[in-house]
Chain A
């Protein structure tokens, strides 16, 4: 009833995971700048896919189960992407400075009771 992997497949995947572990440790010993985190996360994603597809047998699961297996990770990626578009762009989009701010301040009427509050 099951189309499963063979024992030798599992052994090969384990050996690959060990090689990748050594690779990710080795790469971390060198200063590659921005490539360090990229390499670390890329290797982690490859290891994750090996575990999910082979050890967790998702390769042989039904399409519905595959969809459910992917859903959590897709939503996590959406959360990280949307959040980081904010944080990463904060230094790019600078607040208005100079001539425009005083004009806005002039146009804004602050109640006398609140003037100077919090300054």
Chain B
């Protein structure tokens, strides 16, 4: 089968092989991301095991309403991202762009909510440092080191995701993708879903586990 598609790079036999290679490459990158965040999760587990009371008190100082709202927003953005990839695979560019714009909107909404939450944390003296204050449990500062490092790194990934999604949305609106070629939409989708995956674990670990006590 002679492929003459303009998007086919010369090292590949055909578009299917090219797609397979880009998916494999993206999953390899995501494996490094798993280990990147994995170190923080490992640290969280070890210190939560060492200082359960401090982590319980710290966890109760987070705002579960903001956390739950953001989880719903991010899960929904994953849904719209899946619809964007689905539309791209079926060669429906208008629908692809619409879903991508929705995803970007939800991503921005996530950061706005996070911003309000960070502000509340600031007002309540929950930023580790000289002004940190949790009455009766100074060790809760340890919990908030993890809270800020993990949510901060995650927010950075959301920010990068917004940039990547914007580029893909622009390319899609210029009709660069088709049912035959849509690798960039797919791998950007994989990245975005990964950002969602990280939050799926951050939400219960930071906001929920010690809520009842």
Contacts and interface: CB of A to CB of B under 8 A. Distances in A.
Partners in one complex: yes
B75 A21 contact: yes
A10 B75 CA distance: 12
Chain A binding surface SS class: helix
B211 A83 contact: no
B83 A44 contact: no
Interface residues of B, number: 53
B210 to A, nearest CB: 8
Chain B binding surface SS class: helix
B89 A4 contact: yes
B96 interface: no
Interface of B: 16, 20, 23-24, 27-28, 30-35, 38, 41-42, 45-46, 49-50, 64, 68, 71-72, 75-76, 78-79, 81-83, 85-86, 89-90, 179-180, 186, 189-190, 193, 196-197, 200-201, 203-205, 208-213
Interface of A: 1-2, 4-5, 7, 10-11, 13-14, 17-18, 21, 24-25, 28-32, 36-37, 40-41, 43-44, 47-48, 51-52, 54-57, 61-62, 64-65, 68-69, 71-73, 75-76, 79-80, 83-84, 87-88
